[in-house]
Amino acid sequence: MPDNNEKARRKELLNGIRDEARRKVRDSLPVPLPVLKALFDFLDGQLKSTECDNTLRLVLDFVRQNGLPEGPVVDWLRDNGGYCDCEALMNAEQVVENAVPDYSDTEPSTNPLR
């Protein structure tokens, strides 16, 4: 059975692995965090009155309306479980929430330079 020093060392290693995983997510974001937050807020609002049609139609509408890089945004969403609008909202936003402390306090913005 590991002693307290070994338990502390293991805990520190696990925390380091989690922190590195979170950093990788933050570094991989295709647009600034406030823009991504604005996308997720847009999806949330749209999906309250429109059913998901199993495409990224709403994502693409938002991306095109705001002059965002379509390929990188779509690729990032898919890489993080967002294969359609509702999955982008449910899965990809969860990835961001887990990786970014105080994500919920982020002010949304459609300015890609922010």
> 64-106: per-residue pLDDT in tens?
999 999 999 999 999 999 999 999 999 999 999 999 999 999 9
Confidence of residue 114 (pLDDT cuts 50, 70, 90): low
Residue 89: CB partners within 8 Å, gap ≥ 6? Answer: 40, 43, 44, 47, 82
Res 54 pLDDT > 60: yes
Residues of 65-81 as b/e, b for ≥16 C-beta within 10 angstroms? ebebeeeebbebbbebe
Q: Could you tell me the sign of the dihedral formed by the alpha carbons of 90, 92, 97, 99, in that order?
A: positive
Q: Pick from 97, 89, 78, 99: which is nearest to 20 by CA?
A: 99
> 7-29: per-residue pLDDT in tens?
888 888 887 888 898 899 999 99
Confidence of residue 113 (pLDDT cuts 50, 70, 90): low
